[in-house]
Amino acid sequence: MTSRYSQRYVQFMKAQSGSARILLIDDDIDLTEMLTEYLEAEGFGVEAVFNGRDGVARALSGEFDAVILDVMMPQVNGIDALRHIRQTSNIPVIMLTAKGDHVDRVVGLELGADDYVGKPYYPRELLARLRALLRRNTPVDPIPEAKESFEFGLLLVDVPRREVTWQGQPVLLTLSEFNILIALLKSGETVATKDDLSLKVLGRPRQMYDRSIDVHISNLRQKLQDVAGKAIEIETVRGVGYRLVTTS
């Protein structure tokens, strides 16, 4: 087993054992302390930061496996903090939004959040979302798959390294966008339904009026268009789902 595969195995076991490092960014000190205790009791390492500015700096430090980010914070709010994080990092992010505030949820997803949980929340639900996010960021099996890369036109996807390039130019994707791209590539000419994408990418059944997959698809489509123009497109099959097509 090569050193790269050994590293993947360690990451797999780390996510399964619950020992991942989590950055919690929220100005509600009491709630943050309670959530920190809850997550630490589940085996996670947790660091709490109480403002967006310091939160961005810590999120970009490379020391964490995922970020839990509250939207409502003074000075640098969660939306602005996420915007700064996504300029250079694809670290998995769960947004904490006001219950029923669909605007914050959509804006957060559009800026690259991987998932969201409404406040007030049940810690058990947040824990389940967090574990699902970490599982999606590690190989399903520590033994590498026979097919570790995909070529689609001039698009090259290196699965173990989670790297995407177009004619050698890197394409920075969030975890959810990357996993959607892999799902579309594996589907080939078959349409990937929104329900299947929600289960495979978000780890949960798609609910009525849930636009999460649509927003992730829109973000991915824009990023591919930025580097490839119309040479590669995500086709919308109305009422069903999506399919990746190329004109080159």
Contacts for 103 with CB less than 8 Å, ≥ 6 apart: none
Block residue for tokens 């497109």: 233
CA separation, residue 164 to residues 75, 149, 167, 182, 225 (Å): 35, 10, 10, 10, 14
* Amino acid symbol at 236: T
pTM: 0.72
What is residue 202's DSSP assignment?
I
How do residues 51-68 score in pLDDT, each as one tens digit? Answer: 999 999 999 999 999 999
Q: What is the Cα–Cα distance from 49 to 190, expressed in whole angstroms?
A: 45
Within 10 angstroms of residue 70's Cβ, the number of other Cβ atoms is 23
pLDDT averaged over the chain? 85
Q: What letter does residue 144 receive in the DSSP assignment?
A: P
* Contact status, residue 149 vs residue 162, Cβ threshold 8 Å: no
Q: What is the pLDDT along the chain (248 residues), one digit of tens a residue?
A: 344 444 454 454 454 445 799 999 999 999 999 999 999 999 999 999 999 999 999 999 999 999 999 999 988 999 999 999 999 998 999 999 886 667 778 888 999 999 999 888 889 999 998 998 888 776 544 434 445 789 998 999 998 888 999 998 999 999 899 999 999 999 988 999 999 998 888 888 787 777 889 999 999 999 999 999 989 999 999 888 999 998 76
Query: In the chain, where are the structural domains located?
Result: 3-136, 149-246
Multiple choice CATH, 149-246, 3.90.105.10, 3.10.100.10, 3.40.1190.20, 1.10.10.10: 1.10.10.10
Eight-state DSSP code of residue 156: E
Residue pair 115/216 in contact (Cβ under 8 Å)? The answer is no
Contact 53, 69 (CB under 8 A): no
- Looking at CATH, the fold of the domain delimited by 3-136 is given as Rossmann fold (3.40.50)
CB 185 within 8 A of CB 157: yes
Residue closest to 11 by CA, chosen among 161, 178, 219, 231: 161
Would the CA dihedral through 81, 83, 87, 93 be positive or negative?
Answer: positive
Direct distance between the N- and C-terminal alpha carbons of the chain, in angstroms, rounded to an integer: 37
If you compute the radius of gyration of the chain from its CA atoms, what whole number of angstroms results? 18
Exposed e or buried b per residue across 226-235, where buried means at least 16 C-beta atoms within 10 angstroms of its C-beta: ebbeebbbbe
